[in-house]
Amino acid sequence: MTSTPPTIPVSLRVSAAPIALRPSWIRAEWVKFRDLRRSRQLLVVTLIAGAVSAVLLVLTIPATRGAPLSETSTEDVLSASVLSVDAAAAVLVVLAAWFAGVEFRTGAITEALLRARGRSGIVAAKAVVIGAAATVAAVATAVAVTISGSLLAATLAGADWSEVLAVAGSSGHLRLAFGSTFLPVIYSLLAVFGAVVFRSVTGGVLTPLALLVGSMLAGWLPDALASVLRPLLPLGAVHNISGVAEAGGTEYIGVLPALLVLVAWVVGGAVLATWRLRRQDF
């Protein structure tokens, strides 16, 4: 009498394999970002550029506003220092565009595309890694420029430390400083999507730059048209969140609508980048 060994059902053998073989795109992108020397260097440059720009912006107040620092209010000194977050945004845009676009230049993206079932995971992973890195760097820069502005206000402008600390910890300054961090984060994400859409580092850099130029041009339009276009662009939305946009101005739409505008830009950019990547041939 013979007996046959038990067999594993076909359905179990088939269903287990894809799960084990499915790559973790976020982990892979994070390891690549962490191990590349240039990404670490650019993050350090981000902090340095922000701190140095804060000092320069404060020191140039007498030339730009026609008043010596001793006659400049603490609020104005700290507000000027926060403008240097834009310098951090420029460095982070370059970092994001390079990180997402260099694989297209070298052809290294081909291996990832061959392994990918759905290419939305690749775009999402790049966006998550860059978004997290840009958020940490932008917040650190906001803290650094606030410290720099406080030191300059207390030394060169001659303000009392109690006044400086009160202004630095006020809700208005905190909203300005940390609301401004949305700009480098959003522009970095748009640089990622631009690099994927245009399959190049240059395309990644030019995408947020074109939106920035568009915001400037929209400001020159008649008020009726500017009030429609400016709030719909990322810069105008960030100005609403940070409190720069004043009620009644052409940029003003409120904080909640501005957040929805930024979400729309990120989601739209991700969808466009995913669609473009799915059309990538080998």
Confidence band of 70 (pLDDT split at 50, 70, 90): confident
Give me the DSSP letters along 47-67: HHHHHHHHHHHHHTHHHHHSS
- What is the total count of domains within the chain? 1
Question: Would you say residue 194 has pLDDT above 80?
Answer: yes
Tell me, letter by letter, the H, E, C secondary structure of 135-202.
HHHHHHHHHHHHHHHHHHHHHCCCCCHHHHHHHHCCHHHHHHHHHCCHHHHHHHHHHHHHHHHHCCHH
What pLDDT score was predicted for residue 113? 74
Domain that holds residue 33: 25-279
Closest CA to 168 of 47, 255, 82: 82
What pLDDT score was predicted for residue 175? 96
What's the rounded Cα separation, in Å, for the pair 237 and 254?
Answer: 9
Q: Is 16 inside a domain boundary? A: no
Amino acid at 185: V
Q: Is 3 inside a domain boundary? A: no
pLDDT in tens, 97-109: 999 998 888 877 7
Sign of CA dihedral 268, 247, 74, 69: positive
What's the rounded Cα separation, in Å, for the pair 261 and 282?
Answer: 35
- Between 19-33, 146-160, 240-254, the lowest mean confidence (pLDDT) is in 19-33
Distances (CA, A) of 76 to 144, 159, 167, 241: 17, 12, 10, 19
Higher pLDDT, 92 or 278: 92
- List of residues 6+ apart from 6 with CB closer than 8 A: none
Burial class from Cβ neighbours inside 10 Å (0-12, 13-18, 19+) for residue 37 reads exposed
Q: Is 90 inside a domain boundary? A: yes
Question: Would you say residue 110 has pLDDT above 80?
Answer: no
- List of residues 6+ apart from 108 with CB closer than 8 A: 102
Averaged pLDDT for residues 62-87: 91
Q: Which of helix, strand or coil describes residue 68?
A: coil
Q: Is 138 inside a domain boundary? A: yes
Q: Is 226 inside a domain boundary? A: yes
What's the rounded Cα separation, in Å, for the pair 140 and 84?
Answer: 12
Q: Is 167 inside a domain boundary? A: yes
Averaged pLDDT for residues 241-270: 95
Q: Is 19 inside a domain boundary? A: no
Averaged pLDDT for residues 122-143: 95
What does the mean pLDDT of the chain come to? 88
Question: Would you say residue 14 has pLDDT above 90?
Answer: no
Confidence band of 23 (pLDDT split at 50, 70, 90): low
pLDDT in tens, 32-47: 899 989 999 999 999 9
